[in-house]
A and B are shown apart, each in its own frame.
Chain A
Amino acid sequence: MRRRDLLAGALALAATPAAARPLMPLHETPREMLSPPYVDGDGRDLTLADFHGRVVLLNIWATWCAPCREEMPTLDALQARLGGDDFHVLPLSIDRAGLRPVRRFYDEIGIRHLDMYLAEDIRAMAAFAVAGLPTTILIDRQGFELGRLAGPAEWDSARNVALFEAIIANERT
C-alpha cells in the first residue's frame, strides 16, 4: 500500500508541466520486449536478460547524435546516484564505427560511472522500435518495458530520481 502511494506521488510529480525537460511517460501496463544481442566494453556478449532482477534505464544513443551527447553527463550522474543491485543505467550505442568513438567520447567528457555497450544499429532499432535518437526505455526487474521517452532529458533531476526511486521501491519484493 505504501509503495503504491509512493508511486502515485511520483507519477503526480511526473504530470507537473512546470519542468523544462520532460519526464518519461509510463505505459498503462508493462510491455514485453525483444532484445538484440549486444556487447559491453570488454567485448562480452549480452542481452537484456542479463540484467533481469534490476530496474534498467536503457538509453539508445550514438556519438554522432548531438542531444545524446548533451544528456550523457546526466545519465552518468544518475548511475552514480542510483546504480547498483537495484538499478542500472545501460547506455547502448549504435555507432557503426564500433566502441572506439564511444570510448573517445567517454574520455572526452569524463564519464566515470557508466559502462559501455554497443549494438548493431539495424537490429537495435528494429528490436526496440526506435525512430530517432536518443530513445530511453525504462525496464522493470522482469524485463518488461514500463515507459519510454524519445528525445533528451535531464535524467538526474530531482523529479526523475524520485520517479526511479518509486519504481525501484514498488518493484522490490
Chain B
Amino acid sequence: MTSSNLSMSILRRSLRVLAGAATLGVGSVLLWQARAPQDLPAPLVTGEAAITNAYTLTDHTGRTVTADSFAGQWQLVFFGFTHCPDICPTTLGYMAQVMDLLGPDAEQVTPIFVTVDPARDTPDVMAAYVEAFHPRMVGLSGTEAQVAEAAANFRVWYERSEDATAPDGYTVAHAGHIYVMAPDGGFVDVWLEGDAPADAFAANLASLIQSTGNSS
C-alpha cells in the first residue's frame, strides 16, 4: 500500500472517530468509573482531533522519558490509575490480550499506561502494577504538572474528587480511551474496551503494522 493510501485510510478512520467523538465523550464518563459523582462537568469536546503525543514523564524503572523515547514503535496509550475505589476496569488486561493476539507483531507495539494519580502511583507502584499485565507494558508517572500536561496534550479528561469512602479520601474519575499512536508519533485512532473484542482490535493493529512494513 502506498503511503498516500495509508494516509487516506487513516484520515477516513479519524473522521469516523470525530463523528463519534461527541457520543464517545459523553459516554465515556458514564462507562468508566461507577464512582464518578453525579455533578461532574461534561467532558470537553473540541470538534477536532487536536491530540498531541507529547509529554515528559518518569517510567516504572525510574527513567525520564518523552514521547520520542517510543518513536519507531506503535504505541497504545491509556490513562488511568491503580487505586480503583470500587470496580476495577479491566482495560489493561484487554491491552495485554491485544498484545498476546498480535504474536510476533507485538514486538512493534509498546503498551503505555499513564497514571492520572501520580501522588499515589509512584514509579515503584507502577512497576508492580504493569508487571501484572504484560512484560512489555510501560507505566508512566511524574509530577502533578507533568501528568496534567500529558493529559491535556492527549485531550484526556480527568478530575480528582473528594470521596470519604475511597482509599485516602479521594478518587479520580477519568475517560477510558486507548489511543493508538503511529511509529512517527502521530495520532491514529481511539478504542474503548467494550466497543470491540480484543481480537478485532488486534486484527486492526496487525493490518496497520503490515501496511507500513517493518522499516517505519
Contact = CB atoms under 8 A, between A and B. Distances in A.
A65 B84 contact: yes
Interface of B: 34, 82-90, 93, 96-97, 129, 131-134, 167, 194, 198
Given A96-B133, A151-B34, A130 B90 contact: yes
B135 to A, nearest CB: 10
Nearest to B130: A64
B203 to A, nearest CB: 15
Interface of A: 62-68, 94-97, 101, 121-122, 125, 130-134, 150-152
A67 B88 contact: yes
Most chain A Cβ neighbours within 10 Å, of B34, B82, B88, B132: B88
Q: Is the interface of B mostly helix, strand, loop or mixed?
A: loop
Contact of B82 (A66, A97, A130): A66
Contacts of B89: 132
B85 A62 contact: no
Contacts of B93: 62, 94, 96, 121-122, 125
20 contacts: A62-B132, A64-B88, A64-B129, A64-B132, A64-B133, A66-B82, A66-B167, A67-B86, A94-B93, A97-B131, A97-B132, A131-B90, A131-B194, A132-B34, A132-B87, A133-B88, A133-B90, A151-B34, A151-B86, A152-B86
A133 B156 CA distance: 23
Contacts of B167: 66
A96 B134 contact: yes
Most chain B Cβ neighbours within 10 Å, of A96, A101, A125, A150: A96
